[in-house]
Amino acid sequence: MDFNTSTAEETQVEMTPEMTQEYLNKELERQKEFEKAHFHESHLRSVLKGLTWRIFATATTITIAYFVTGEIGMALTVGGIEFLGKILLYYLHERAWELVPKGTIRVLKKRFLGR
């Protein structure tokens, strides 16, 4: 007994623009939910990443300063100044960006680049 009586042409459904848009909207929402659930970084993780990066970068500065001066005391001093100075500069940089209203970059991009 053959239960498969339909042909390939009978099972195809034509997608209307509305159906396509609805599918894309659902897919975009699903992707956003997935990213929110799986790629959220905690504040603690961000702080730890920043701290470990700062230590690595300062160790590099100390190493370079040692090769340039040949003095470990001077290299550590340069590294300490660099460590504190860059933390302060980064903080000031972040606070300055807080003064720029959200969406300003997009407006400027449209105005000057036409995109």
pLDDT of residue 57: 96
CB atoms within 10 A of CB 50: 12
Nearest Cα residue to 80 out of 101, 103, 104, 55: 55
Nearest Cα residue to 58 out of 33, 31, 36, 85: 85
pLDDT of residue 65: 98
pTM comes to 0.54
pLDDT of residue 81: 97
What span, in angstroms and rounded, lies between the C-alpha atoms of 73 and 15?
72
pLDDT of residue 21: 84
Query: Which residues of the chain fall below pLDDT 50?
Result: none
pLDDT of residue 7: 56
Domain positions in the chain are 17-113
